[in-house]
Structure 1
Amino acid sequence: MDSLLILGGLLLILAGLVWLVMRAFGTSLLWGWASLLPPLTLGYLFRHWKSARQPVGLCALGVIPLVVGLTMLASHDGQRLADILSLKWLKPEISAPAALNFALNGELNGQPFNPQQGELMDGVLTLREGQDFFARREVVIRLPERSTGAVNLDVLPTDTGPLPEIEISWLLPEQELPEARRVRHGYTLHLALTPLAPNKLVGDFHLVLPPQFKTTLSGKVELFSNGLRYVDGKVDRRIDSRDTLEFVIEDYLQRRFATREVQLSPLPVIAVSSSTLDFSVEALINGLPQQVPLQLVKSPSGGWSVKGDRYARLAKHTQAPVVAAPAEPAKASVAEVATRQVDRRAGFSLQALLGNPQRYQGLTMHAVTLRGSQIEGRFRQIDNTGRIVLRQVRNGAGEASFTLDPEQVKTLELLEP
């Protein structure tokens, strides 16, 4: 409704101005041309008010719905009104710099091909033109072998054996679905790609398909080698990709267990279709297998993160603790060493517990919080929010579990070896 009022008011004002110019030309040719200049239009209004008052009245009538429409727009969408009044829409849109640089000449299916996206992941090279769900034009090359470093490949039309499969597709304006063609032999391909930090491949690309496909491409390409994207040298956590989730989880586990010795197992199949994901991950942490339940959440500004993550940044040179192998005991003390119990109270601390919770599973601990509360119980686990869970058995009343935030723990003492 507000848009209709604004549009109607502007049309009335425009009609009144046109009527005023026509009245001016009716008075004389000189006044007609003069009325096209705003300062001289005011002169015509004062000199020939009787002739100009009706067009001016129509303009004033258009001001009423214009003001009412702008008021209604400001009441429910003030930002939109501010954008309209700031005249930002008159300025040409400045496109963001391209993430990848291409210097590729040639054609695909007889049409110029200008890709904006490119990647080489899991042995599949993709060059894509267009930002929609279906690419306007696309080249897909499935390599016979996966490579994690430089790629050097040459294929001639007479070559046989396991060769890359080439697929080209295009979408015409009158089509709803793209057309695709596959080529398995009889083509020329040259790839000479070298890694470029942090996650790109750059180099020469040359492709010539048989004449009936009308496809010849040659030049320089730049490709992403994984699903990570970087902004100012840091991983952009807003990107919905499997690699982004793996980076977020691995970074969380390193800070939570205070070690860089984290080897994450492959994640389960995840459909990144919501802003909250719940699942368990398996990882080798300091050589020990761990299964950690996690909840990933996504915010519009910060991107993906682990819920309850309050762990400090890991020091640059943090390494896993090195445990020296004990010297072989003398024969006279073999029986004594075999029966001696390891005292885990030596070197125990809050950080040691967070770094290796399995070592202290089921042991009795005494905790004092910053508020002065004292809790004693057997250590059960570190939950998915990073909190310490102590279990306390009560006579005749079952058992009780206490959850402690590590940041609120003043002292933590291990009471048994």
Structure 2
Amino acid sequence: MVALLILGGLLLIITGLVWLVMLAFGTSLLWGFGSLLPPVTLAYVFSHWRTARRAVALAAMGFIPLVVGLAMMAAEDPQRLQEILSLHWLEGEENAVSDLDIRLSGELNGQRFVPLQADLVDGILSLREGQDFYARRELTIRLGHQPEGALQLDVLPKDPGPQPEIEISWLLPEQELPEARRIPRGYTLHLDLQPVEPNRLAGDFHLVLPPKFATTLTGHLEVFTDRLRYRDGRVDTTYDSRDTLAYVIRDYLQRRFATRDVELAPLATPSFPAKELNLEVEARIAGQPQHLTLELLKNQAQEWRVRRDRFPPLSEPAAPALPDQASEPEQPVAESARPVDRRLRFSLQRLLSNPGQYQELRMRVYTARGSTAEGRFAGIDRDGRILIRRNLGGAGAASFSLAADEVQRIELLEP
């Protein structure tokens, strides 16, 4: 509805302007050519008002649905309106520059593949082309484990035993969801990635899939090994990611309780972009479980920090004891318990019957049409549709919904 109002208003304005130019040409060729310039157009309107008034009225009527549509979009999705008005979409993705040294040549599904984003997190190597929620083209290699140090791997088509699963996906302009293909074996893969400080791997990459997939890729690859970003050798706390928030919270707890013995439980995935966040934090501090509610915000330098953080830097050596409870607000202590692996016996029926148990957990959904979507479970709406949200890093977050009868298979990817 919003898009129709905006497009309808623009169509009326353009029609009125074209009509006005035609009337100017009907008056004289001089007025006609001159009306192609805005100042002369205004002069024609004032000097030939009786002739031009109907075209001006039609163009003016177009502003009514245009303004109404923009106002509705501002109320429903202000971020989208800001992106449209900023005109960044006119620049195109070809002008985007990657922070990584990626020099790969090849194709994916028969199309030239130029990834600008690459990371190896939780044992999943991902190469993406495109900045939207769904990548224009994406290559995923599920290694099954997160390597520590160098990563060296060679796979041949006839190698026995289980091999890393490869998935390729692509999104055509006329499609709402990307198409995906999984290749469990029958491919050639060579990885020789060496650690690069502080959080990268770089080296040779070579991949050849079976001919029917029309996918080959070779060259130099550099990937991030976590979702932290660095600036001048220090963690960039302006970058929007869950790992950045975890770093800020861990540093805060170490200084608050005067100990480096802080183990932070995984945080719920927040929605970016944001200026303020309220997070429930589970941590083990000096061997004691703690449950805290922290409010994080961005300061004037756009850096994430914990509100009312006035604790001094941690001295060396760190004091192992907790501070006097009289000087700190009493925090409720949670009982230590081994987390339950919710992947056991997970199914679509269990998700629909008890959605709260799986809130903010990462899932992969396979639809009946052969598409694949991956993100974090955000709940079930009033119509019973499954909501999945995916974090875009600095670009923000996006979500989509699927009816239960569209889901062919669903997997839970973390405990």
Alignment TM class, shorter chain as reference: 0.5 to 0.7
Q: 1:280 aligns with which of 266, 279, 282?
A: 282
Higher deviation after alignment, 200-209 or 58-67: 58-67
Q: Distance in 1 between matches of 2:228 and 2:170?
A: 27
TM-score by length of 1: 0.57
Shift of 1:247: 0.9
Q: Distance in 1 between matches of 2:103 and 2:293?
A: 43
Partner of 1:93: 91
Instruction: List per-residue Cα deviations over 1:134-159 (Å, max 9, x = no partner).
Output: 44433222336542212222233344
Shift of 1:210: 2.8
Instruction: List per-residue Cα deviations over 1:353-399 (Å, max 9, x = no partner).
Output: xx633xx56xxxxxxxxxxxxxxxxx4964359xxxxxxxxxxxxxx
Q: Distance in 1 between matches of 2:88 and 2:266?
A: 48
1:81-160 correspondence to structure 2 within 5 Å: 89=87, 93=91, 97-143=97-143, 146-160=146-160
Task: Give the greater-gyration-radius structure (CA).
Answer: 1
Matched letter for residue 23 of structure 1: T
Matched letter for residue 229 of structure 1: R
**Which structure is higher in RCO with an 8 Å CA cutoff and minimum separation 6?**
2
User: Does the aligned pair in 1 maintain the 2:280–2:293 contact within 8 Å?
Assistant: yes
1:231-246 correspondence to structure 2 within 5 Å: 233-236=234-237, 239-241=240-242, 243-246=243-246
Structure 2: runs of 5+ lacking an equivalent: 333-415
Partner of 2:344: none
Shift of 1:211: 2.8
1:16 match: secondary structure: helix
Instruction: List per-residue Cα deviations over 1:323-367 (Å, max 9, x = no partner).
Output: xxxxxxxxxxxxxxxxxxxxxxxxxxxxxxxx633xx56xxxxxx
Q: Distance in 2 between matches of 1:198 and 1:144?
A: 23
* Percent identity of paired positions between Structure 1 and Structure 2: 40
Residues 110 and 93 of structure 1: CA distance in aligned 2, closer, same or farther (over 3 Å)? closer
Residues 62 and 151 of structure 1: CA distance in aligned 2, closer, same or farther (over 3 Å)? same
Q: 1:24 aligns with which of 22, 28, 32?
A: 28
RMSD, aligned α-carbons: 4.7
Shift of 1:208: 1.5
Partner of 2:261: 262
Q: Distance in 2 between matches of 1:54 and 1:381?
A: 79
Residues 54 and 277 of structure 1: CA distance in aligned 2, closer, same or farther (over 3 Å)? same
Instruction: List per-residue Cα deviations over 1:118-173 (Å, max 9, x = no partner).
Output: 11123321222334444443322233654221222223334434543333334454
Matched letter for residue 293 of structure 1: H
Partner of 1:181: 182
2:149 match: secondary structure: coil
Partner of 2:411: none
Shift of 1:69: 9.7
Q: Distance in 2 between matches of 1:92 and 1:134?
A: 19
Matched letter for residue 285 of structure 2: A
The alignment of Structure 1 onto Structure 2 pairs a total of residues equal to 310
Shift of 1:197: 2.6
TM-score by length of 2: 0.57
Instruction: List per-residue Cα deviations over 1:213-250 (Å, max 9, x = no partner).
Output: 33211011121101223466533355242x33431221
2:23 match: secondary structure: helix
1:353-364 correspondence to structure 2 within 5 Å: 356-357=322-323
Matched letter for residue 282 of structure 2: S
1:227 match: secondary structure: coil
Shift of 1:205: 0.5
Residues 294 and 67 of structure 1: CA distance in aligned 2, closer, same or farther (over 3 Å)? same
Residues 132 and 292 of structure 1: CA distance in aligned 2, closer, same or farther (over 3 Å)? same
Shift of 1:66: 8.7
Partner of 1:251: 251
2:27 match: secondary structure: helix
Q: 2:330 aligns with which of 383, 388, 403?
A: 383
Structure 1: runs of 5+ lacking an equivalent: 323-354, 362-378, 386-417
User: Does the aligned pair in 2 maintain the 1:108–1:137 contact within 8 Å?
Assistant: yes
